[in-house]
Structure formats: structure tokens, C-alpha cells
Structure 1
Amino acid sequence: MAVTDSDNLVTAASNFEGTYTRFAPGWNVNYWGSVKWEAARESRSGYVHSGTSAQRFRVLSRSSGADAHLIFPHGFVNGKSYRAVVYVRTDTSAQVEVMLRRDAQPWDVTAAKTVSVGSGWTRVEVQGRFRWNSPGSLRVISKTVGANIYVDDAQISAVEEAGDTDVTGMPLPAAGGASTTLTQVFASNFDDVFSYTSTGWRINVWGEPLGTFQAGRETRAGYVHSGASSQRFRMLTTGGGDAHLIYPFPFVKGRTYRATAYMRADSSATAELFIRRDAPPWDAAGTRTVTLGTSWQKVEVQGIYLGDVVGSLRVASKTPGANIYVDSVKLEEVKQNDLAPASTTTVPNTLFGIHVKRLGNHFNFPQTGHGLLRLWNTGTNWRDLEKANNVWDFTTGSGKRLELYVDYAQRNNAQILYTLGQTPAWASSNPSVQGYYGLGASMPPTHLEDWRDYVRTLARRYAGKIRYWELWNESDFSGTWAGSVEKMVEMARIAREEIKAADPANQLVSPGLTTGQGVAWLDRFLAAGGGNHVDVIGFHWYYDMQPEKLAPQIQNVRQVIKNHGLEHKPLWNTEGAPLCNSSLVDCATWTASVAEQRSVNARALMIMWAKGVSNFNYYWWERGESQGRLVQDDFVTQTAGGHALAEAIKWIKGARLVDSFKVQDKVYVFRINRGTENYTVLWSTTPGTSVTIPSSWGITRLRTLAGQESSLASATFTLGIEPVMLK
């Protein structure tokens, strides 16, 4: 990415890379009236500002009152100021307007600039304050009919301006809010006259070959929940993709939505209601899989929208040939304290986990306060240990390495989370499939007795030594699991039987899933009964230099778990760490600042704690990237990031989170109790934020992540991205 805005918070960036045909991810064309236009990916030399491709956009003709805009929908926040930068050029000369606009009547413009561009790249910058509780967009508008406009390296940043909602020395509330309000943003009763789909609804079908489906208006008695009609949808075949009944909607990033629909079928059928981002990674904000019958059933989903682009409310049929009827749909925005503690009980010691991959090069244990060790990418999985059927050797090779790890953990008073899988070629149901870990590794075993024998062998051997067992690694990713959800549920049942037989205190963790398709996969796993066989729900959350974005991701998973009545089960982040975000910076040259190195993991850990995550296994101790490095090459000396993480763990261990909340979307506040001690941890995502703390907190001292403590001379002071403890 060639564009950076180091002084401000980048909220969206697009480098137009990828293999698209018409639109780069997140972009589309908003057109009205009689207008013709075209859009395509551009890769010719000179027509790309940086990277390998740019976006081409051309208005061919337009009548009076008509137009077409190339747009990037974005979740702007009312009262905040934004700066947009975009690079444009044309073939010869043309007039181009760049605009930030409200996408609701009366279509107010936040900022706009019209420039003359030629065959060289022109940097266009606009800035203004967004003043509405409505969705908006960045727009590129061609003022010259017939001209090819090339667009590259676009970025939107939140900036501080005089007159913004935030004020110097902002007073912090003594506590977070407890109320919840619901505001309806759209409703559909399907009572209009239509032959195919109701107004605003359509069918999204994709794949090669295309799936087949039917849709129509239904008026028969019993097939309408209320009013005169309902929507009928029937998926006949999925083809090479699928077909969904969808309602596109301009969801705003970071806001919570609740969708309610009444659904039924002709006979027993499985269907899914979900809110989805309509751009990569096509992730669900809220999802629920249900079994429908011949009576109307109320189906509700809730989640926090994570995308910068338009999404949709979707109905998917999982039963080919079944008629699904939909009626009385409602979408509401939910306003509440999204950072309120999921639990106020004492933090479990399982929260502090880590990976150690280079054992043998050293035998040192991290001095960061971690007490749980996850084994993954350690040369100790199934295909490493049992290279031939029923051939085990714990005196050499991978078997000896597993023994080494178990002894290492015991010597350092650490628990072990052992991750089961991957399938050996000899046991694989398709040993010719190339999995991420080798031929046949991603396929289920041909005979589940081989799986049972593998689990039984390890569970019995390490009874009392390995307490936690993870069913599989990232089973929503085809490179590590190409089997069905139902097969994984069956394997969960077997694994549970064997580990509990070896030691009733053993705990089984569901497969650790990714943020791409993991939410939808988890919903299907729980709907198929997987929750009956696991003690803990597993997920994988990595994060960039804005780890606060973890909060809505975690909340969406918690909502899926709650939908299935399993909110009592612990939620674990079995693998995660800070990563470079290539959509915001050039990762080949970028280096995390010292403040980022010190703060990022502490902030992530606090967010996870607040959202009810009770295990986080840092991946991995010996890593070398600037943003995630915890120890020097001697495997003894801690880095600044390592020292800071150790300090943050000291703040949290043995404590209870009494209250947590955010102020003006940038100041994060955590009220903590440990025995007779009460203290507050807080930071701001905007460096240089002046705050005034309430006198009721009784604060007199401040402690930093570097372990330095001093008196607090005034109730008003400046916060940055590094958390501080006030006591």
C-alpha cells in the first residue's frame, strides 16, 4: 500500500489488488436513471499507481438527471471528521470529482473536490465532518463522458478537527451504561404484489455450474404468517456454489444489528438465517441454523457488522428441493455497552497460554506469566506420531519430542492443550488429496476406529499429564479439514468418550476456527449436535495494531454460542497474535513502533478478558517480527513487548473485571478488583487524548507497562495507546 496516514487512524484502505473482473473488493457502482457504464480491473504498465492492478471506471452515456458513481460504502460515525485520499488518472484529460457523501436522503455531501486529471497520476484529498446517523460512502465521479478513469491506493482516515465531538479533557463516566435500546431500520411484510421476489429482495446465485432454484409469492392459508402473502424460496441444486434469498442493506461497521424472521417449510428442512459481508472474506455477523417444520417458527440472529462494505440479510436452504417460506422480517439496530464484562468472576489461569515451537534449540520457559502450553506445529500431530497403523515409538523422533514437551511443561508447572489431527496417509479416506500438512492430512479417516485408537493411545499414556484436548485445528479451512461438519461431530463424540475414559477431568475443546468462515462453521457444528460432545468452544483470533477490533468479532461468536443455549461453556482463543495488516501498510517495509510493540498485546488481552475469553494462547514465543517479538535470540532476554505483556498479565492475574466500557469510541476503561485492591486500566486509541477521571475513583497513582509508578498530580492527564494502571 503506497498511501499511509501515520498521524491519524486509518479506518479503511483499498489497494485494488486481487483477481476480480469488474470491481475491487468493497467497491461497486451506484447508478440511477438512463446511464451506461463499465468497470474492470486494470493491470497495464503505467495504469497502476502501485502494486499489480487498479480499478478502471467509465461512463459511456447518461441522460439528464442520470449518473453512475464508483463508490466505496463505509461506516462513518456521526460527529467524526474523515480524510479520504485517492489516486486517479485518465487516458488523455478528464474532470473527476472525489466525494464523501451521506447515502440517505437528502444525500448530504461531507466533502468534495473536482480536479482536472491527465495521463499522470493525481493525488486527490478531501476532508470533512460526517454529521449523520446514516451510512455513507467514498465516491469517484466522472464528469467527462467516455473517459476512462483509473483509480488506485484509496484510503479513509479518522482525523481530529476543532469542533469534533471529542473535546480536550473529556470527563470520563464513573461506570458503563447498562441499558439496551432497539431502533427498527427496516421491515418487510411481503404484502406487495410480486411474482418472483418481494421489493428489495433478490436471489444471489453463484458457482460453475450455477445452482438452480425457484422463488415466488405465496398466498395460501397457513403459508402466510401475517398479512396477505409471504415469500417462497426453493433451492433445487447448489451447483458449484449456492443460491440465497437476500436483502442487501447498508450496514454500518461496528454497529450491532438484530434480525428477526418467521420461517416454515413444507416438511422438515434445514435453513440458515444470517447477516453477511458481501465482500471477502464473506464473513457472517450473525447466523443461525434451524430445523423448520410445517408451523411458523420465529428465527432471530444478532451480531456486530465488521465490514466497510454493503452487506445483506440472507436465507439459505440446506435441504435441496424444500420450499422455505419467509414472512414478517424485521431488522433493528441494537445500542448497548458493547464492552460490558461477559463475566465478573475471578479470571481463570487458563487465560494465559502460549506456544513454544523451538524446544530443543533451548529449554527455557517464558518468564511472562504464562501457565498453559498449546502444542501445534511442534511435530507432534497424528501423522507425526503414528506413521503406520498401530506403530508407536515414544523413544525416538516425534514420539520422543512429545515426551520432551510433556516433561518440559511439568517441570515448569504448566498445563498442556494438545491439538488432535492431522490424518496420516495410511488412515486417510483420500490419501491423494493435498492437505496443508501433507497428502491425505485434511481428509477424515476411512475407519473411525483408527481415530479412536489414536485418541485412546495418547489419552491413556498422558492421563494426568495432558488435561486439555483440542479436537482439530481450523476445520473451517479446507487445507486442514476437507471433511463434513457431520463427520467432525462424530469424531468429537469418539474423542470425548476416550479422553473421559482415560481421565474424567479431561476437557475437550471444539475445533479452533478462523475469522473467515469460522462463525458459519461453528453454527453448523453446534446445530449438528457438536456442542453435546465438547466442554469448551475454541476459536482463533489474530489482530493488527488496532486490537480493539477483536471485541465485535468475539461478540459475534458468543452470540452464535448463545443461540444454541451453550453460553455456559467457556470460550477459548486457542491461537492468536499480532499480525501486520497489508491493507493498511506495506508489510515488506513496515516496523511496529516501540509504543505499538508494548501496547498491542496488553490491549488485546484486556479486550479478550472483557468479552469472556478464558484462554489465549499466544502464537508463538520465539517469533521474530517486530510487532510480536517477546524474547531476544538468546531465548532469555525479554523484548519491550515481552516485558509489557508480562506486566499486563500481573495486572490481570487473580483479579475480577467489575466494569468495562469505551468513551467516544476511543478511550477504553476497565475497572478491576483483586481482594481489597481496586484499580483502573485505560488507554486511548488516539494518542494525546486529554481525559478527566471522576473523583469517586479515588485515584492517586499511575503505573505504566514498563513497570514505572508515579504519583498522579491531577485528575486531568493525557492518554495514548499504551495502557496505564490507575490506583
Structure 2
Amino acid sequence: MNSNTGEMPSFRVGSVRFWDSQTRWANLEPRQGEYDWSVLDRLVSGARRAGLPALFVVGGTPAWAAPKAPRMAYPEGSRAAPPDNLADWRRFVRALAERYSGRLEAYELWPIANDSRFYNGDMDTLVEMTRQANQIIKKADPRAIVVCPGMGRLWSSAGRSFLRRFAEVGGYDHCDVASVKLHQRSASDPPETVLAVLDAAYRTMHQAGVHPPIWSTGTTHDIVLQQPLDEERAIDYATRFYLTGLYGSVNGNLSRTYFYAWGTRNLPLVLQVPGAPPTRAALAVEQLQRWLTRARIRACGQGTAIQLPAGVWQCEFTVPDVDGRYLPSLVRWTHAGTAATAVPPHITRLLRLDGTAVPVTPGEIVEIDTRPVFMTAN
């Protein structure tokens, strides 16, 4: 969420994450022991009215708690360091968790820990902060999901090395979920390229002997500097970003994906800004979700490995009909260009994101391009 208004998306989403919403620690405790919960109360209430589970990101040390530390790129003067006294951290986490027990689904214990613009403390302190926060949160709300500090810069060996060290020294022993930032090198690159980052993160964790569920929780600090996508490419990329999350759930350890972000115009791909209707890209994501309502994902694959032309991607599902029978269905798309593919057995309809549908027959050749299509037996 990139808004502090409490307004929620008016298209279908599954969860919201609070970070660029004026809810950093420095916003909530501007002076030691003095709390201002007004913005977070508004956001939590808005999420609950919309039926959306909320993930709160704990980070952004107030200036009073680390006066000599470097500033983060935020107007309230948040510091990119742990507090000088960890008692301040414990007190804040306790106040937060007790106030929002049962109202926040999950807590992420730092936005991007392996980027010095967000965290420049040492590893031992980061692990200890994670351990302490996990204990405090679980005591206040045993059902809360604790998400380890976010790990970005995973295109680089330095970023992956930091993740591996955090794993090796036991950081992931103190949380339920790992947080990674899955994003393209550039916003103009195909969304499918993030799967290489997921694979690198998974392999790094595997080498360290840890296998937590993985949530993709954001992007790179530099995203606001990248060029906007045109409207048609935005539709393609928004829907395929959603699909790569599903792909990663089958072929990686990815169990949740957040899109960055809702509520701002200053990004390459905009879904909605407060007070305005959803963009065509957002509505296309909503259409994709309608296709997959109550679907069960079976498999995902790409190219010749699944007897399709190179460059074609596919996820297979079973989707319930009105009688509750689960019917074979699939989504196909390319990451570039077009490809001729045969309709699989049992498939009788092809649906497009613009709402149109045409009958098809098994074995019929259909052209697939960069905009996903849905094929079903229903």
C-alpha cells in the first residue's frame, strides 16, 4: 500500500502490505514512548472492512533511537540502522503486537535487510532483533505469521551472500516465512525473468539447509526511476506477474506474492491510485482471478519441456463448474512474440482477457501471444 488514506483497492486482491503508507516505526513513535496510531488504525480498519488480511512491515528506526545512523529516503527522518538500545525495539514491537493482536495477520521484520539504504547494522544484531520480535509477537498473538527480514538485491552475488549468512547463523529459526524481493532487472524485462531470482534464492537457502515458505514482498529501491510501460504492455505484464507467482508456487517454494504497489502514479506499472478507477491492467488481473476462482493448480511448465513451442508458458488447473465438478483448464501465454499451439484434449472454450470467448476443439491450432488466454472444458 502506497497510501495512508485507508482506502483499499476496488478491484480484487488477496492481501495488503503496509510499508510506504506512513506507517514506519518513526511515524508511529515520533518521540520515545509517545505513539501515534492514527494512520495505522485507519489502514487496519480499511483492510478489515474489505476483508483483506494485512501484513505490517516493522522498520524505519526513529531518529531519537539512532541519532547518529544514516537516514533512509523518507521525509520523517527514519534511520537505516537498528536502535542504539534494543530495549526500544522490544518496547515498540510489544506495543504494536498487543494493540493489533488479531487484526494484523502478519509482521515482516524489516523491509530490505541486505540493502544499506534500508539496514546498515551488523548481522548478529539483525538476527537478535528477529529473535526478540518473534517471541514478543507470538506471545501477544500466537496466530500471527512472523516474516523474516526482507532480502533484496538477489540479482547480485552480494545480495545472495547476505541471505546465505542470515540463514547459516540461524536467522530463519525465528520466523515462519522468508521474505524476498522478486523483480525484473528492469521493469521493461518480461515478468518471467523473476523466476531466475526465485530459483537463486531457493538454492541459496537450500545450501544453508533451510526451507521456509517464501513470500515475494516487493521490488527494488530504484523502481521509481524506471520508465513507465505503455498501457498494452502493462496489461500483459500485470497478468503475467500474477501468473509467475503461481508458477513459483509449483516450481519453487513461493506461497504468496505482493505487487508493488497500490496508490501511486510514480511507478512503471500502475494498477490504481486513490480516488480513481482501476486501470485496465488491474481489471485484467481481476479477470484472470475470476477465471481461477476456487481453482486447484496442478502443474506449470514452459516450452519444449512440456511439448510446447519454445517461449510458450502454461499453468494447468482444475476449475469447478456450477455442479461442483472439477474440469481441466489451463492458462497459456508467451514471454515474447507469438506461437501456434494445439488445443489439448477435453478443452472446448478459449477465453480472452477482454471478456470474449470462442469455442475450440481438441487438436485445433490456436495462436498464443504475450497476453494470457484461458482454455477450459466448461
> In structure 2, how many angstroms separate the alpha carbons of the residues matched to 1:642 and 1:597?
9
Amino acid at match of 1:699: I
Matched, 1:367 2:367: no
Q: Shift in Å at residue 643 of structure 1?
A: 1.0
Map 1:397-408 onto structure 2 (within 5 A): 399-408=37-46
- The aligned residue for residue 323 of structure 2 is none
Call closer, same or farther: CA 1:666–1:581 in 2, change over 3 Å: farther
Structure 2: tracts of 5 or more residues without a match: 304-308, 321-325
Map 1:100-499 onto structure 2 (within 5 A): 355=1, 357-360=2-5, 364-393=7-36, 399-428=37-66, 431-437=68-74, 441-499=79-137
- The aligned residue for residue 375 of structure 2 is 726
Matched, 1:709 2:357: yes
| Residues 550-588 of structure 1 deviation map (CA, whole Å, 9 limit, x = unaligned) | 111111111222233332x21101114996996xxxx3x
- The aligned residue for residue 551 of structure 1 is 195
Amino acid at match of 1:556: A
Residue number among 312, 327, 339 corresponding to 1:689 in the alignment: 339
- The aligned residue for residue 639 of structure 1 is 279
Call closer, same or farther: CA 1:591–1:420 in 2, change over 3 Å: closer
Q: Shift in Å at residue 656 of structure 1?
A: 2.5
> In structure 2, how many angstroms separate the alpha carbons of the residues matched to 1:665 and 1:619?
29
Q: Is the 8 A contact 1:699 1:726 kept in 2?
A: yes
| Residues 681-726 of structure 1 deviation map (CA, whole Å, 9 limit, x = unaligned) | 00122333222234xx311100112222221266101111000001
- The aligned residue for residue 571 of structure 1 is 214
Q: Shift in Å at residue 520 of structure 1?
A: 1.8
> In structure 1, how many angstroms separate the alpha carbons of the residues matched to 2:289 and 2:205?
27
Residue number among 575, 595, 599 corresponding to 2:236 in the alignment: 599
Map 1:662-673 onto structure 2 (within 5 A): 662-663=302-303, 664-673=309-318
Residue number among 660, 669, 676 corresponding to 2:300 in the alignment: 660
Structure with greater proportional helix content: 2
> In structure 2, how many angstroms separate the alpha carbons of the residues matched to 1:450 and 1:706?
52
Give the TM-score normalised by the residue count of structure 1.
0.46
Q: Shift in Å at residue 625 of structure 1?
A: 5.8
Q: Is the 8 A contact 1:643 1:706 kept in 2?
A: no
Map 1:533-548 onto structure 2 (within 5 A): 533-543=174-184, 544-545=187-188, 546-548=190-192
Q: Shift in Å at residue 651 of structure 1?
A: 3.2
Q: Is the 8 A contact 1:436 1:442 kept in 2?
A: no
Structure with greater proportional strand content: 1
> In structure 1, how many angstroms separate the alpha carbons of the residues matched to 2:316 and 2:348?
15
Q: Shift in Å at residue 633 of structure 1?
A: 6.7
**Deviates further, 711-720 or 410-419:** 711-720
Q: Shift in Å at residue 439 of structure 1?
A: 5.4
Partner SS, residue 512 of structure 1: coil
> In structure 2, how many angstroms separate the alpha carbons of the residues matched to 1:633 and 1:701?
37
| Residues 592-613 of structure 1 deviation map (CA, whole Å, 9 limit, x = unaligned) | 251x121112112211222122
- The aligned residue for residue 610 of structure 1 is 247
Partner SS, residue 116 of structure 2: coil
> In structure 2, how many angstroms separate the alpha carbons of the residues matched to 1:647 and 1:553?
27
Amino acid at match of 1:368: F
Percent same amino acid at aligned positions? 25
Call closer, same or farther: CA 1:376–1:498 in 2, change over 3 Å: same
Q: Is the 8 A contact 1:539 1:572 kept in 2?
A: yes
> In structure 1, how many angstroms separate the alpha carbons of the residues matched to 2:333 and 2:143?
39
Call closer, same or farther: CA 1:653–1:432 in 2, change over 3 Å: same
Partner SS, residue 160 of structure 2: helix
Aligned-residue Cα RMSD (Å) equals 2.4
Amino acid at match of 1:677: L
Call closer, same or farther: CA 1:710–1:576 in 2, change over 3 Å: farther
Partner SS, residue 299 of structure 2: strand
Matched, 1:678 2:319: no
Give the TM-score normalised by the residue count of structure 2.
0.86
